[in-house]
Amino acid sequence: MRRAGLLSALVAVCTAATAADYSGPLFDAHLHYNDEACTHDTPAPGCPHPIADVLERMQKSGVRAIVANSRPNDGTTALATAREQTRAAGVTVVPFVRLYRNRADYNSWFQDPTIVEMVSAELARGTPAGPYRGLGEFHLYDSANANGPVAKQLMALAEAKDLAILAHVDDVAIDLLMANTPSKGQKMRLIWAHTGIGGTPATRVDALLARYPKLMGELSYRPGLTCVDGQLCPEWRALLLKYPDRFMIGSDTWVNQRWQYYGELMQGYRTWLGGLPADVAQRIAWDNGAKLFGLATPTP
Ligand SMILES: [Zn+2]
């Protein structure tokens, strides 16, 4: 290679590697504020992440809206009640009803009719930040349970009440859950937590996005998403560019360790978002979530 050619090639590589990180607002579409984080207002021994702490982490990371849900629902209520603090931090709370009162419910909610009663009571109660906007996160480790009576009831209820769903399930369960809505999935705003945490092939994700116009993919823990230098792997970059309106980012603060690294998690997103065209980055980072729930774009 000629010297000039080599130089320009090197410049091109360096430019690609140092593409500026995305610096706009983030919508955290998968946030839990569970009881072990300690969902109180005042710091205390044995209370690692009181409200002031989690809001400070969001604010420092430029997170301007969250899908809030928690086990039990008290954490969501606490965030939705802290109106002055969330306003001061510039964070809009989009509350979801979690299906779990405790850890045991993860594995039995789909066969427990009292979960439907609990969800209905929460929906009727609402929150100080407004009505609940969705149900979940829920898990189905065996996709067949998507056809159980409780899942069927909740999917029908969600579509009837125009609630979104946040579901940690495999691709088979996506089809089953969608089939259990009156519109057969054509109207259901289903946020697919992790977009196939077991490694659902990108081609299959593509097919599901094509089949269900309101299916959204949330990208925490997604295997195979990032490759060199924290940038997107080619297959996923192509998929995000093909469906720029269908993906969102999330923290999934399911254990306290995720709160400890909240800043790093969000920085990781900013890194690969920065490698996308600016308009696509902005959609995945903020617009798609904001559009889903009718939020205005925040002022910097
Ligand atoms: Zn989660």
Q: Which amino acid is at 207?
A: A
pLDDT at 234 over 50: yes
pLDDT at 14 over 60: no
Grade residue 19 by pLDDT with cuts at 50, 70 and 90.
confident
Grade residue 215 by pLDDT with cuts at 50, 70 and 90.
very high
Ligand 1 centroid from CA 138, angstroms: 8
pLDDT, residue 18, reads 58
**Region at 293 (left for phi over 0; alpha for psi -120 to 50; beta for the rest):** alpha
Phi, psi dihedrals of residue 165, rounded to the nearest 5°: -125, 140
pLDDT at 15 over 50: no
Q: In terms of pTM, does the model score above 0.85?
A: yes
pLDDT, residue 8, reads 52
Ligand 1 centroid from CA 123, angstroms: 20
Q: Report the pLDDT averaged over residues 135-162.
A: 97
What is each CA distance from 158 to 97, 138, 267, in whole angstroms? 11, 13, 33
Instruction: Write the pLDDT tens digit of every residue in 271-287.
Output: 999 999 999 999 999 99
pLDDT, residue 42, reads 66
Ligand 1 centroid from CA 76, angstroms: 14
Closest by Cα among 222, 227, 230, 240 to 280: 240
Ligand 1 centroid from CA 69, angstroms: 9
Instruction: Write the pLDDT tens digit of every residue in 57-86.
Output: 999 999 999 999 999 999 999 999 999 999
Ligand 1 centroid from CA 253, angstroms: 7
Ligand 1 centroid from CA 166, angstroms: 9
Ligand 1 centroid from CA 8, angstroms: 45
